[in-house]
């Protein structure tokens, strides 16, 4: 008869959660903050196609759904910050909807996404994000449910929480707020007021870890004169 030692079972779940949190931090810094936000949305730095692929796979694990949708709505957010045309203004859309990221955007003007569709990697992610996400969930679950928890579920939950908190707590003040405690899950993006003041600035604060990594390991984008 197979005996399952429950204390060991619990220990493995603990390690799955622990490693999942570390994995989430890597995704949050490298893929979501540096990749999705600073690189794809604001073109602050340069990246090779191979780096883009790695960023995109990690972004999809965090379940941003289609990165093109995220980037385009984020650009709208910058243009219409905290007004009725801001896609996720807590004041206009509702605090809870924004916190749980259940807001919908029925139409995005093409000007916010035109360049994005021209990138074949982003176009691929736009088409196959659901296939990729479901396959990753299925494969990790078939390997072991604790692999699913650590590799797929924890990054998914923490990314959702991070986006929700950034768009609510990070916008308590009109035009964006600096909330350094948010950096524990959103990789330096807690200096959100500074980001709204200058969306081309890579490093937002001396403790902006995502910004420090981006400055150290990536070339700044060439500015069009
Ligand atoms: Zn904002
Ligand atoms: Zn931004």
pLDDT tens digits along 5-47: 656 777 888 999 999 999 999 999 999 999 999 999 999 999 9
Rounded-to-integer distance, Cα 174 and Cα 176, Å: 6
For residue 192, report the distance from its CA to the centre of ligand 2, in Å: 8
What's residue 207's pLDDT?
94
Is residue 133 a contact partner of residue 60, using CB atoms and an 8 Å limit? yes
CA of 95 to the centre of ligand 1 (A): 14
Res 7: pLDDT: 64
Question: Contact 201/195 with Cβ under 8 angstroms?
Answer: yes
CA–centroid distance, 129 to ligand 2, in Å, is 22
How remote is the CA of residue 41 from the centroid of ligand 2, in Å?
A: 7
Distant-in-sequence, close-in-space partners of 211: CB < 8 Å, separation ≥ 6: 38, 188, 202, 203, 204, 205
Question: What pLDDT, on a 0 to 100 scale, did the predictor assign at position 224?
Answer: 62
Which ligand has the nearest atom to the CA of 171? 1
pLDDT of 222 reads: 84
Question: Is there a contact between 87 and 73 (Cβ–Cβ < 8 Å)?
Answer: yes
Neighbours of 164 (CB within 10 A): 21
Per-residue pLDDT, 9: 75
Residue 86 Cα, ligand 2 centroid: separation in angstroms? 13
pTM for this model (two decimals) = 0.92
| Cα 209 to ligand 2 centre (Å) | 16
Rounded to the nearest whole angstrom, what is the distance from the C-alpha of residue 15 to the centroid of ligand 2?
34
Residue 123 has pLDDT above 70, yes or no: yes
Asked whether 165 and 99 are in contact (CB, 8 A), the reply is yes
Distances from the Cα of 64 to the Cαs of 13, 30, 55, 130, 145, in angstroms? 25, 14, 12, 10, 22
Residue of higher predicted confidence among 13 and 209: 209
Q: How far apart are CA 194 and CA 203, in angstroms?
A: 9
- Determine the pLDDT at residue 8: 76
Task: Express each pLDDT in 41-91 by its tens digit.
Answer: 999 999 999 999 999 999 999 977 899 999 999 999 999 999 999 999 999
- 37 Cα to the center of ligand 2, angstroms: 6
- Is 216's pLDDT higher than 80? yes
Distance CA 66, CA 151 (A): 19
pLDDT number for residue 191 = 96
CA–CA separation, 90 and 200 (whole Å): 24
How far is the centre of ligand 2, averaged over its atoms, from the C-alpha of 125 (Å)?
A: 20
Give, in order, the Cα–Cα distances in Å from 9 to each of 3, 5, 6. 11, 6, 5
Q: What letters, b where the CB count within 10 A reaches 16 and e where it falls short, cover 122-145?
A: beebbeebeebbeebbeebbeeee
- Per-residue confidence (pLDDT) for residue 148, from 0 to 100: 97
> Cα torsion for 104, 30, 210, 200, to the nearest 10°?
-60
How far apart CA 10 and CA 189 sit, in angstroms, is: 34
Residue 190 CA to ligand 1 centre (angstroms): 10
Please check the confidence at residue 195 and state whether its pLDDT lies above 80.
yes
Residues 34 and 44: their CA atoms lie apart, in Å, by 9
pLDDT per residue as tens digits for the range 171-191? 999 999 999 999 999 999 999
pLDDT of 1 strictly over 60: no
Query: Per-residue pLDDT tens for 133-176?
Result: 999 999 999 999 999 999 999 999 999 999 999 999 999 999 99
pLDDT value at residue 2: 58
Could you tell me the distance, in angstroms and rounded to a whole number, from the CA of residue 75 to the centre of ligand 2?
7
| Protein residues near ligand 1, an ion, with CB under 5 A | 176
**Which ligand is nearest the CA of 41, by number?**
2
Of 185, 31, 163, 36, the C-alpha closest to 87 is 163
What pLDDT band is residue 4 in, cutting at 50, 70 and 90? low
* pLDDT of the residue at 63: 76
Give the ligand whose atoms come closest to the C-alpha of residue 37.
Answer: 2
């Amino acid at each position: 008869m197979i005996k399952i030692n429950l204390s060991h079972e619990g220990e493995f779940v603990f390690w799955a959660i622990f490693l999942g949190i570390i994995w989430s931090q890597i995704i949050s810094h490298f893929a979501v903050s540096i990749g999705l936000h600073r690189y794809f949305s604001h073109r602050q730095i340069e990246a090779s196609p191979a780096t883009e692929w790695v960023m995109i796979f990690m972004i999809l694990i965090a379940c941003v759904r289609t990165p093109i949708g995220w980037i385009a709505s984020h650009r709208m957010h910058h243009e219409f910050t905290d007004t009725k045309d801001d896609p996720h203004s807590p004041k206009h859309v509702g605090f809870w909807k924004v916190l749980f990221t259940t807001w919908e955007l029925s139409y995005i003007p093409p000007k916010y996404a035109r360049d994005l569709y021209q990138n074949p990697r982003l176009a691929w992610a736009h088409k196959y994000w659901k296939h990729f996400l479901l396959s990753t969930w299925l494969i990790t679950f078939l390997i072991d449910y604790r692999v699913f928890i650590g590799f797929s579920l924890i990054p998914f939950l923490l990314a959702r929480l991070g986006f929700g908190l950034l768009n609510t707590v990070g916008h308590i003040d009109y035009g964006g707020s600096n909330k350094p405690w948010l950096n524990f899950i959103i990789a330096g993006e807690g200096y959100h007021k500074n980001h709204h003041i200058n969306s081309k600035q890579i490093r937002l604060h001396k403790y902006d870890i995502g910004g420090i990594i981006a400055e150290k390991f990536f070339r700044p984008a060439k500015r069009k004169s």
